[in-house]
Amino acid sequence: MKVLVLGGDGFCGWPTSLHLSDIGHDVTIVDNLSRRAIDLELEVDSLTPIRPIGERIRVWKELTGKNIEFVNLDLAQEYDRLETLLINERPDAIVHFGEQRAAPYSMRDTRSKRYTVDNNVRGAHNVLAAIVASGLDIALVHLGTMGVYGYGWSGSAPIPEGYLTVKVPTPDGDIEREILHPANPGSVYHLTKTLDQLLFAFYASNDQIRITDLHQGIVWGTQTPQTALDERLINRFDYDGDYGTVLNRFLMQAAIGHPLTVHGTGGQTRAFIHIRDTVRCIQIALENPPARGDKPMVFNQVTETHRVIELAQLISKLTGAEVALLPNPRREAAENELNVSRDRFLALGLNPTKLSEGLLEEARDVAERYRDRADTTKIIARSVWRQGMETSPDLVEG
């Protein structure tokens, strides 16, 4: 299958590109390298030493004989080039990772809010419009987020995969309707994913585009079998206050002897998935597209749920790290339950990597190994959801 991987230089996109290439697909990465530019803007670097995209692709070819093409293109700004690319390349499928994905970055200031909306919503719409303009039957797999559902809705009932069946009272009695699960985003970034959902619903209905939206939980881990082949293929590992996600941050903090930065009480329950399972899920989604005319197919791409404080305690037990309870810079429920349906991927053969299996390997082979590359001034999350919520750096530094 010919596959375009949009955002294929990023944390999820790079290992997915290698995995798809490894199993025989013809992969072209499309990326404007904006994530690398944001590292420069934030004056921070991946904990792991990631190589330039050209070198990554050359090394992959040297080691495996397999070719990956790269196109430097801005999905949000360069519509005409995108349309021409689809017409020339005639891909069977597109996997769309190419969005600004950090909630804290999206809440930093007015500029980053506007950038996140412009980049993500325009990019997603350009992809859809270009598929229609190409006249080709290209299946689209998009990376959404568990955060579209929010964290206060379901109580003990599991969050369904995308859609809810509701009863609407009418004078003639109740009628049943299937609707998109109500959106409840917790950041401007998460808001863009809820807007994407409406774009997908429209284009699936109006133009019969085959669309799969993967509501992924927080990805942890770094390496896949392919990125581990050579250090020059290593995946990125974000640990800074904007892009670092909670579990990888805790692993890195433990490795350098920094207290684990729990926001609030740590009663927030979130969904998690290992990067090795992300790439398998993308493969499964590509192999099982919806039919033309179907509504967007939604999968909840998660394998486990945990409270933040439980993760901190687990890592503290493994490593002896201290746990620090910090004022929460975000506006989010202090505690929540999270019960998620995730039957589809399991039914299609996903065999998940458990936290209990992957954690030690990650701590030893990545966090410990590259600990000297850490810049400790970048650890505390400084982006606040509202004025006055600043985390005092004195609590953990000095």
With CB atoms as reference, the residue minimizing the distance to ligand NAD is 10
How far, CA to CA in Å, does 211 sit from each of 121, 141, 248? 16, 6, 30
The least CB distance from residue 118 to ligand NAD, in Å, is: 9
For 80, counting Cβ atoms within 10 Å of its Cβ (0-12 exposed, 13-18 middle, 19+ buried), the class is exposed
Q: Among 57, 140, 209, 246, which residue sits at the site for ligand USQ (rule: CB under 6 A)? A: 246
Name which of 94, 199, 81, 80 is nearest 136 in CA terms: 94
- Indicate if the alpha-carbon torsion angle 252, 255, 261, 266 is positive or negative: positive
DSSP assignment of 337-387 equals ---B--HHHHHTT--PPPHHHHHHHHIIIIIITTGGG--GGG-S----SST
Helix (H) or strand (E) holding 165: strand 163-170
Nearer to ligand USQ, 101 or 274 (CB): 101
CA-CA distances (angstroms) from residue 107 to 42, 153, 250, 383, 386?
A: 14, 23, 22, 6, 9
Q: Does 249 bind ligand USQ (CB under 6 A)?
A: yes
Which of 233, 227, 226, 223 lies closest to 59, judged by CA? 233
For position 262 contacting ligand USQ by CB under 6 A, the verdict is yes
Judged by beta carbon, residue 34 or residue 245, the one nearer ligand USQ is: 245
Residue 31: left if φ>0, alpha if ψ -120 to 50, beta else—which one?
beta
Residue 314 engages ligand USQ in binding (rule: CB under 6 A): no
Stretch that binds ligand NAD, among 6-14, 104-112, 177-185, 334-342 (CB under 6 A): 6-14
Contact characters 62-101, ligand USQ, x per CB under 6 A? ---------------------------------------x
Of 5, 13, 89, 363, the one binding ligand NAD by CB under 6 A: 13
Site for ligand NAD in 57-76 (CB under 6 A): 74-76
Catalytic-residue membership of 64: no
By CB under 6 A, the residues from 342 to 381 that bind ligand USQ are 381
Report the residue number, 123 or 396, with the smaller CB distance to ligand NAD: 123
Q: Is 317 a catalytic residue?
A: no
108 binds ligand USQ, rule: CB under 6 A: no
For residues 389 and 331, is the Cβ–Cβ distance under 8 A? yes
Q: Site for ligand NAD (CB under 6 A): how many residues?
A: 27
**Buried/exposed code over 288-323 (b: 16+ C-beta within 10 A; e: otherwise):** ebbeeeeebbbbbbbbbbbbbbebbebbbeebebeb
How many other CB atoms sit within 10 Å of the CB of residue 332?
A: 19
Scanning 16-24, 117-125, 153-161, 257-265 for contacts with ligand USQ by CB under 6 A, the matching segment is 257-265
CA–CA separation, 6 and 74 (whole Å)? 10
342 binds, among ligand NAD, ligand USQ, none (CB under 5 to 8 A by kind): none
The question of whether 295 is a catalytic residue gets the answer no
- Which of ligand USQ, ligand NAD, none does residue 103 bind to, with CB < 5 to 8 Å depending on kind? ligand USQ
Under the criterion CB under 6 A, does residue 3 sit at the interface with ligand USQ? no
308 contributes a contact to ligand USQ by CB under 6 A: yes
**How far is residue 313's CA from residue 138's CA, in Å, rounded to a whole number?**
45
Tokens coding 278: 């992300």
Q: Is residue 342 within the footprint of ligand NAD (CB under 6 A)?
A: no
For residue 11, the partner it binds in ligand USQ, ligand NAD, none, with Cβ less than 5 to 8 A by kind, is ligand NAD
Within 91-110, which residues bind ligand NAD (CB under 6 A)?
97-101
Binding residue count for ligand USQ, defined by CB under 6 A: 23
Binding residues vs ligand NAD (CB under 6 A) = 7, 9-13, 31-35, 74-76, 97-101, 119, 123, 143, 145, 216, 218-219, 245
Catalytic site positions: 145, 189, 193
